[in-house]
Amino acid sequence: MGIKLISGTILTTVLLGTAAAFAHAPCGEMSHPQPPQPFEYHQMPPIPQLPPMPPAVRDKVEELLEAEQVAAMPLILKLQQNRHALRRASAKQPFDEAAVTALAKEQAQLQAELLVSHLRTRNRIDQLMKQDRPPAK
């Protein structure tokens, strides 16, 4: 009789626990905590909508970008070769700090030239865009 009483008690507890688990309100009726609002500095300002570019300006911009790409290709290849040389020099034993430093300076110089070339092109594109836009009221 003791086993029947214990098993009956366990069965009743399991059934009541299961019934209680399914007896909650549906998800739509439950109140969920709202996440905190982000700080103001996390919010990006709206992006101003610019009028579409005329085809002549778009063609000039594409020409500038293509010219920059052609001019940058030798620099990109030099950067790649320098990066490989830098990896080889840094793996050599004993470590030659003077050679690695010279290669690192050359790498920095090439990156600076590439950045200046890109910014020069961006400036030219900005000038084209300003010439095309009517003056603000």
Question: Which tens digits make up the pLDDT trace of 33-53?
Answer: 777 666 655 566 676 776 777
Q: From 131, 119, 137, 123, select the one nearest 54 (Cα to Cα).
A: 131
Spell out the domain ranges in the chain.
Answer: 55-132
Q: Using the predicted structure, report yes or no on whether residue 87 has a pLDDT greater than 60.
A: yes
Query: What pLDDT score was predicted for residue 129?
Result: 84
SS3 26: coil
Instruction: Decide if pLDDT at 70 tops 60.
Output: yes
pLDDT at 43: 61
As given in the structure block, the two tokens for residue 77 are: 């290849």
Of residues 44 and 121, the one with the higher pLDDT is 121
| Per-residue confidence (pLDDT) for residue 104, from 0 to 100 | 95
- Phi, psi for residue 16 in degrees, rounded to 5: -65, -40
Query: According to the model, what pLDDT value does residue 118 have?
Result: 94
Cα separation, 70 vs 82, whole angstroms: 19
Is the domain defined by 55-132 classed in CATH 1.20.120? Answer: yes
Q: Do the Cβ atoms of 114 and 76 come closer than 8 Å?
A: yes
Alpha-carbon separation of residue 46 from 49, 120, 134, 136 (angstroms): 9, 27, 22, 19
